[in-house]
Chain A
């Protein structure tokens, strides 16, 4: 693989993870919903889109849209227990929900192909490009999605809705006392988060053209957490920065592996250990992350 090809692959993965991190950040950084099952949206998006494409031959645009809708619907389902579970117990439920989906994908072979996964997933507009140029087009597609999602989320969070989410994060009882239907607000945050996560899943599936339950281990969720802890929560740029940094770290350790005589298994474990340390360091010394949540400042002269 040439350097350029590798760079394109790397940037596409950064984009996909940036989408996932932004989606997690909306839930965690804004609404304070401790979601330990974010990978489930990635999983549902990837499977929905690739199964629709391979089994029904639906146009890929619709596969992507349906992936977002199904994944957003699952965000709704996941938000239901917030009514009766305290946030820490809900966090455990999300972790379990993600595992349930991975195991369903692993065992319901008639639908998902089981451990063999879904193969030869068609790629959008593949016929327009040569083998060499296609990744570049895909990078463009992913970048476009990241830009659109970034601005859409920025609009959503810079609104009374975003303000409500932040208030729920900090004082849910206060929101209730002001007549805010906090359940509905959390639900909406989960649905939006689910849709963005589903989009990332679909983009991933149609890029790598082969997915299996192996892609959706809970560790993916924790990588996403590392991204928003390092990059910074409560702002969308932090999520993108975190995605880029963690991916750079992942890739760079791969190259180091060529010079250090560690087996690839040990190297993969070591990588997780280092990311774990990184999380501890950030939580202890810079809990707000690299990019701090921005304070909304009003100029009194502009108000009157």
Chain B
């Protein structure tokens, strides 16, 4: 599904990504872990087109996507969330969900003027879907609140909701459970898994919680200093000496 080959990214003299190669197969959940500053988010930013790469290749569904703009990559069905959840402040929770919906009509002034019937029809369908998702994410009560008034954790949930509305083939999740309470985290893991089982989406997920990683990931990549230092199943990773050293190094 997603294939990253020898990806390079430098910030000044810092090699944030130093020849990273990873592969995410279709219909799988892959974890990406590593200490702070190891290059996980940078990898997301380069793959999703927000940063320009300094070398290497990125393939999505067999097609080369490095060098494309972020919106073009998203249109191909590769969607991401952000580590610090973004939420347009003066759009309500429900509007946020509708904003993300796939297959919208009238995203230009001409159809906004003349395709009112079609807009109403599609919006209605999207509203129903949004309400279902908000139910799962426990945000129904907040549907008419401005997203800017939500807590950090709720914004995280909303960003997941938006990605599900968008319904891409592959999702890049940047710390989806950071700041979300434990009960809801368990719930979220369930949602992500169900969605993956039912709709056969691929997921690449950055996460610090080993609990989350071991409960949903089929495979894990470990990054350190911009390089992949280990890969394998969650069990294998937890036993890997290099990984333990990277996380506990100096102790």
| A contact residues around B166 at 8 Å (CB) | 178-179
Known pairs A176-B69, A176-B70; A156 contacts B112 (CB<8 A): yes
| B contact residues around A173 at 8 Å (CB) | 50, 70, 82, 86
Known pairs A159-B106, A164-B99; A182 contacts B89 (CB<8 A): no
Interface set, chain B 94-152, CB cutoff 8 A to A: 94-95, 98-100, 104-109, 111-113, 116, 119, 123-124, 127-128, 131, 140, 143-144, 146
**Is A171 a contact of B86 with CB atoms below 8 Å?**
yes
CA distance A192 to B104 in the complex (A): 21
Question: B52-81, CB under 8 A of A: which get 1 and which 0?
Answer: 000000000000000001110011000111
**Is B87 a contact of A180 with CB atoms below 8 Å?**
no
Known pairs A155-B113, A155-B116; A176 contacts B74 (CB<8 A): yes
**Is B80 a contact of A170 with CB atoms below 8 Å?**
no
CA distance A177 to B90 in the complex (A): 19
Among residues of A, the one whose C-beta sits closest to the C-beta of B104 is: A160
**Is A296 a contact of B92 with CB atoms below 8 Å?**
yes
Known pairs A161-B106, A295-B146; A178 contacts B100 (CB<8 A): yes
Interface set, chain A 98-131, CB cutoff 8 A to B: none
Known pairs A173-B86, A179-B71, A182-B71; A166 contacts B91 (CB<8 A): yes
CA distance A152 to B116 in the complex (A): 12
**Is A298 a contact of B144 with CB atoms below 8 Å?**
yes
CA distance A296 to B97 in the complex (A): 13
**Is A297 a contact of B112 with CB atoms below 8 Å?**
no
Question: A171-188, CB under 8 A of B: which get 1 and which 0?
Answer: 101111111111011001
Residue B37, interface by CB 8 Å: no
Pick from B49, B91, B105, B140: contact of A163, CB under 8 Å: B91
Pick from B80, B89, B94, B131: contact of A177, CB under 8 Å: B80
Instruction: Say which size band chain A's interface belongs to.
Output: 35 or more
| B contact residues around A170 at 8 Å (CB) | 88-91
| B contact residues around A234 at 8 Å (CB) | 90
**Is A177 a contact of B48 with CB atoms below 8 Å?**
yes
Residue B162, interface by CB 8 Å: yes
**Is A174 a contact of B71 with CB atoms below 8 Å?**
no
**Is A303 a contact of B128 with CB atoms below 8 Å?**
yes
CA distance A157 to B162 in the complex (A): 21
Q: What's the minimum C-beta distance from B94 to chain A, rounded to whole angstroms?
A: 5
CA distance A246 to B105 in the complex (A): 38
**Is B75 a contact of A179 with CB atoms below 8 Å?**
yes
| B contact residues around A220 at 8 Å (CB) | none
Known pairs A160-B123, A295-B146; A178 contacts B88 (CB<8 A): no
**Is B91 a contact of A180 with CB atoms below 8 Å?**
no
| A contact residues around B87 at 8 Å (CB) | 171, 174
Residue A263, interface by CB 8 Å: no
CA distance A4 to B28 in the complex (A): 76
| A contact residues around B82 at 8 Å (CB) | 173-174, 177
Q: What's the minimum C-beta distance from B208 to chain A, rounded to whole angstroms?
A: 22
Among residues of B, the one whose C-beta sits closest to the C-beta of A182 is: B71
Known pairs A156-B113, A174-B82, A188-B108; A298 contacts B91 (CB<8 A): no
Residue A162, interface by CB 8 Å: yes
Pick from A161, A167, A296: contact of B88, CB under 8 Å: A167
Interface set, chain B 166-215, CB cutoff 8 A to A: 166
CA distance A123 to B140 in the complex (A): 57
| A contact residues around B128 at 8 Å (CB) | 303-304
Pick from A160, A179, A298, A300: contact of B106, CB under 8 Å: A160
| A contact residues around B124 at 8 Å (CB) | 303
**Is B86 a contact of A181 with CB atoms below 8 Å?**
no
| B contact residues around A189 at 8 Å (CB) | 109
**Is B99 a contact of A167 with CB atoms below 8 Å?**
yes
| B contact residues around A184 at 8 Å (CB) | 108
| A contact residues around B98 at 8 Å (CB) | 160, 163
Q: What's the minimum C-beta distance from B156 to chain A, rounded to whole angstroms?
A: 13
Among residues of B, the one whose C-beta sits closest to the C-beta of A295 is: B92
Q: What's the minimum C-beta distance from B192 to chain A, rounded to whole angstroms?
A: 18
Among residues of A, the one whose C-beta sits closest to the C-beta of B140 is: A300
**Is B50 a contact of A303 with CB atoms below 8 Å?**
no
CA distance A125 to B69 in the complex (A): 51
**Is B131 a contact of A303 with CB atoms below 8 Å?**
yes
Pick from A163, A171, A303, A304: contact of B95, CB under 8 Å: A163
- 17 further contact pairs, Cβ within 8 A, besides A160-B107, A164-B99, A179-B75: A156-B112, A157-B112, A160-B105, A161-B111, A163-B99, A166-B88, A174-B88, A175-B99, A176-B50, A176-B70, A177-B50, A179-B79, A188-B109, A191-B109, A295-B92, A295-B146, A296-B95
23 contacts between A and B (CB under 8 A): A155-B116, A159-B111, A160-B119, A167-B91, A170-B88, A177-B79, A177-B82, A178-B71, A178-B79, A178-B100, A178-B166, A179-B74, A179-B79, A179-B166, A180-B71, A185-B108, A189-B109, A234-B90, A295-B144, A297-B92, A298-B92, A298-B143, A300-B143
The 6 closest A-B pairs by CB, nearest first: A179-B74, A159-B112, A170-B88, A176-B70, A174-B86, A179-B75
